[in-house]
Amino acid sequence: LISFLFIIIPVQSFGQRWINGDDLLWTRYLVSWNLSNRYTWVQELDNRMTTSLDRRVQTIYHSHLRRAFSSSHEGAIGLSLSHVQRPLANETVDIPEVRLFEEWIHRIPLHKNGLFHSRIRLDQRFFLPSEATELAIIPPFQFRFRYQAQYRLLLPKNFVWRISNEWMGHTPAAFVFDQNRLASSIEIPVSPQMAIEAGYIWLLSRGRTQVSSIDVFRLTLHHRIHKKKA
């Protein structure tokens, strides 16, 4: 399991030039609304900027509906709205995007407090007309495949430790490696409905000629709304 989590990137990326990108701070507000025993509505608002707080990188909103098919299997469909600001020469290029996605999750209990979480996600990314599409920096449409392997451990006082690795690849044209995110975090409950999660992500992003290594510090406020008992 541990060796599986730590598989990093395809061999093809090692032939490229590696650079260190700007350190990033991701702050997220995540609301999970338990509609019934089977359905949960999840909304996320995620703001991403440099740790120096001098440049906003991306703002992204996710909304998706999850359905539990059993204690081990869960599916979801959703919509994302994204706005990226990418530096280009002496200017900043805006990249607006609408994204549809579907995902499937399989959970495997490993022991009393441990859980292995396997997630497959498919993104259909529609990039709206902008200077970025006019300059062919990005295509109008991109299909992305994502796979995440995660180990979750329940600690005393309901603290939760997670370690995960996520691989991404995209098309059209030839299927190519896109990103790899190796992450670890600790979640601390502050009330029956609220929890704070702090974590670190080592993000590798592959461009046409280089691979960027980026340190990401993520802070999440979890808000869980439970179904009221009749």
- Alpha-carbon torsion (84, 205, 23, 31), positive or negative: positive
92-127 residue pLDDT tens: 899 999 999 999 999 999 888 999 999 999 999 999
* Per-residue model confidence (pLDDT) at position 11: 47
188-225 residue pLDDT tens: 999 999 999 999 999 988 776 778 899 999 999 999 99
- Tokens 């109008």 belong to residue: 140
- Tokens 């509609």 belong to residue: 35
* Per-residue model confidence (pLDDT) at position 68: 97
15-31 residue pLDDT tens: 567 788 899 999 999 99
The angle at the Cα of 202, spanning 193 to 12, to the nearest 5 degrees, equals 135
SS3 164: strand
The count of C-alpha atoms lying within 13 angstroms of the C-alpha of 95, restricted to the half-sphere facing its C-beta, is 24
Distance CA 47, CA 32 (A): 18
- Bridge partners, residue 184, by sequence: 163, 200
Distance CA 61, CA 44 (A): 6
174-186 residue pLDDT tens: 567 888 999 999 9
- Bridge partners, residue 180, by sequence: 167, 204
Which residues of the chain form beta strands (DSSP E)? 17-20, 24-34, 39-50, 56-68, 73-88, 91-109, 114-127, 141-154, 160-171, 176-189, 194-206, 210-225
Q: What percent of the chain has pLDDT over 90?
A: 68
Total length of the chain: 230
> Please, what is the average pLDDT of the chain?
89
- Ranking 4-8, 42-46, 134-138, 226-230 by mean pLDDT, the lowest is 4-8
